[in-house]
Amino acid sequence: MNDQSTDWKRPGATTLTEAAGLSTGPVSMEPYRSTEFFELERSRIFGRTWLMMGRVEEIASPGDFVVKKVEVCGASVLVTRAKDGRVQVFHNVCSHRGNLVVLDQSGSGSRFVCRYHNWTYGNDGRLIGVPDEATFFNLDKKKCGLTPIATEVWEGWIFINLSRTPEVSLAEYLGNFGEYLKGVDYVAADSPVVFTAELDCNWKVMSDAFSESYHIPAIHQKTIGSTFASRSNPFAHLLNARVFGAHRMCSMFGNSQYESLDSSKVEKLGQNAMETTNVITAVDTSLVANFLDHPAVNPTRTADWSLDINQVFPNTQIDFGQGGFFTHQYWPISVNKTRYESRFYVARPTNAVERFRVEQYIARVCEVILEDTTNVVATQIGLESRGKDFMQLQDNEIMLRHSTYMAEKWVAAETVAEAMA
């Protein structure tokens, strides 16, 4: 590795794992392969937690809508912005005979027409038109609007809860994690580059792959190995990690002395065009100054910093890097199938240099994600072989330990209050 960093050591005597109050023993593999456990996750985790549906910028103007799938709960969800600017979310299901009303993934308009028999709804969910209405029997149109889903917006993030009556508000659910992340300046929030893939693995295998840096010097050796590790921190030890109830964060080391190899001519060109030495960013720091100022962004204020992973339980990461923020989401389809969706928010380029940086950044992100996604399937096959029953986790894998602990806790809990106790 071509670095000059001084010796790096995380301050503090205890391990991150012990400081978070977690046990240090081996961790069961059953939550990753048991169909019974998955059925309980369906109802007890995804059926009653607050789930992130996207940002308000996706539906910026009145009439804008997006349709999202929540396969694990069998739901098709219609996220709308009504005339008065309110964000509302409905089950995308027709009151007539249950057809899906909106088949487009996104769009804009003042009404939704179910194509089966043309029942028509306003974008506030009201049923406003029924062809041949007189032939129905005492049809009460007021009671036949789209079914609303509990919706709350926090810091520009739209959340839903698929319980008919959520046991806790979103603010209560996020608790001190919501406070910790309050006021972040989400730059370029209207301009994401989106990656999606369906992968043959449990949703937690996918989440784990983006929750620790121990794997980076190994599996990402040729891409970001030398940016997340250095001679002084060869195993990419974390800068910090904290748990916030069911939620968690970790802060990852970044090699501030990283320099592209002379043989990597394109990367070198990109690096020379940037203020930072980090090739996993697309913008100058001046564009993200307010964002970088926030105490939850690089919370240890370490020069050798790369990323913060902020995981909102169960399946959403809102991650921070030197160039802004990005999200990963892991949507279960079955015990061993997951829809992965990530969004990298980058300011739209205004000149050729900026365009080059963005292209280089996105190309690098693609390479790294492919290294992760081609490996997760092998992990699932290994887990399902039942050749092993327990994982051996080290201190820097604290996020995984907390993830399985929380999944087990929520699955065992009869009520949300019990899960959150």
Binding site for Fe ion (CB under 5 A): 372
The entry of ligand FES, Fe ion, none that residue 182 binds, CB within 5 to 8 Å by partner kind: none
If one asks whether residue 348 binds ligand FES (CB under 6 A), the answer comes out as no
State the chain's maximal CA–CA distance in angstroms. 81
Minimum Å distance from CB 121 to ligand FES? 10
Shortest distance, position 123 Cβ to ligand FES, whole Å: 16
User: Which lies closer to ligand FES via its Cβ, residue 12 or residue 131?
Assistant: 131
Asked if residue 161 lies in contact with residue 314, where contact means CB atoms within 8 angstroms, the answer is no
In angstroms, the CA 20 to CA 178 distance is: 18
Q: From the list Fe ion, ligand FES, none, which binds 337 (C-beta under 5 to 8 Å, kind-based)?
A: none
Nearer to ligand FES, 130 or 309 (CB): 130
Of 330, 420, 410, give the one whose Cα is nearest residue 43. 410
* Footprint (CB under 6 A) of ligand FES, residues 85-144: 94, 96-97, 99, 114, 116-117, 119
94 versus 400: smaller Cβ distance to ligand FES: 94
372 binds, among ligand FES, Fe ion, none (CB under 5 to 8 A by kind): Fe ion
Return the structure tokens found at 273.
């065009």
Dihedral sign, CA of 33, 38, 44, 50?
A: positive
Residue 123 in contact with residue 82, Cβ under 8 Å? yes
Q: Which is nearer to ligand FES, 96 or 337 (CB)?
A: 96
Residue 43: name its binding partner from ligand FES, Fe ion, none (Cβ under 5 to 8 Å by kind).
Answer: none
Residue 235 partner contact from Fe ion, ligand FES, none using kind-dependent CB cut-offs of 5 to 8 Å:
none
CA distance 143 to 133: 14
**Least distance from C-beta 116 to ligand FES, angstroms?**
4
The residue behind tokens 């365009």 is 355
Pick 86 or 115: Cβ nearer ligand FES: 115
Q: How far is the CB of 100 from ligand FES (least distance, A)?
A: 9
Nearest approach, Cβ of residue 130 and ligand FES (Å) = 8
Alpha-carbon span 417 to 419, nearest angstrom: 5
* Among Fe ion, ligand FES, none, partner that 319 touches (CB below 5 to 8 angstroms by kind): none
Q: Which two tokens stand for residue 327?
A: 């999200």
Q: Which residues pair with 331 in a beta bridge?
A: 339
Work out how close the CB of 170 gets to Fe ion at its nearest, in angstroms, rounded to a whole number: 30
Question: Quick one: 85 or 131, whose CB is closer to ligand FES?
Answer: 131
Residue nearest to Fe ion (CB): 372
Cβ contacts of 215 within 8 Å, gap of 6 or more: 209
**Torsion (CA) 74, 99, 199, 227 in degrees, nearest 10:** -90
Q: Which one, 130 or 383, has the nearer CB to ligand FES?
A: 130
Element of type H or E holding 272: helix 265-272
- Quick one: what does residue 239 bind among Fe ion, ligand FES, none, with the CB cut-off 5 to 8 Å set by partner type? none
Shortest Å distance, C-beta 356 to Fe ion: 25
- Of 83 and 117, nearer to ligand FES (C-beta) is 117
How far apart are the C-alpha atoms of 86 and 62, rounded to whole Å? 8
CA distances from 278 to 231, 275, 305, 354, 390 (A): 16, 9, 10, 15, 36
Binding-site size for ligand FES (CB under 6 A) equals 8
Q: How far is CA 115 from CA 30, 144, 210, 333, in A?
A: 44, 17, 41, 27
Output phi, psi for 306, to 5 deg.
-115, -60
Query: Smallest distance from the beta carbon of 90 to ligand FES, in angstroms?
Result: 14
Under rule CB under 6 A, which residues in 257-296 are in contact with ligand FES? Answer: none
Which of Fe ion, ligand FES, none lies near 117, with the C-beta cut-off 5 to 8 A by kind?
ligand FES
Cβ proximity to ligand FES: between 130 and 201 the closer is 130
Smallest distance from ligand FES to CB 114, Å: 3
- The distance of closest approach from Cβ of residue 112 to ligand FES in the complex, given in angstroms and rounded to an integer, is 10
List b or e across 36-75, with b for residues whose CB sees 16 or more CB atoms inside 10 angstroms.
Answer: ebbebbbebbbbbbbbbbbbbebbeeeebbbbbbbbbeeb
333 burial via Cβ count (<10 Å: 0-12, 13-18, 19+): middle
Query: Which of the choices ligand FES, Fe ion, none does residue 191 contact, using the CB cut-off of 5 to 8 A by kind?
Result: none
Residues lying near ligand FES in the complex (CB under 6 A) are found at 94, 96-97, 99, 114, 116-117, 119
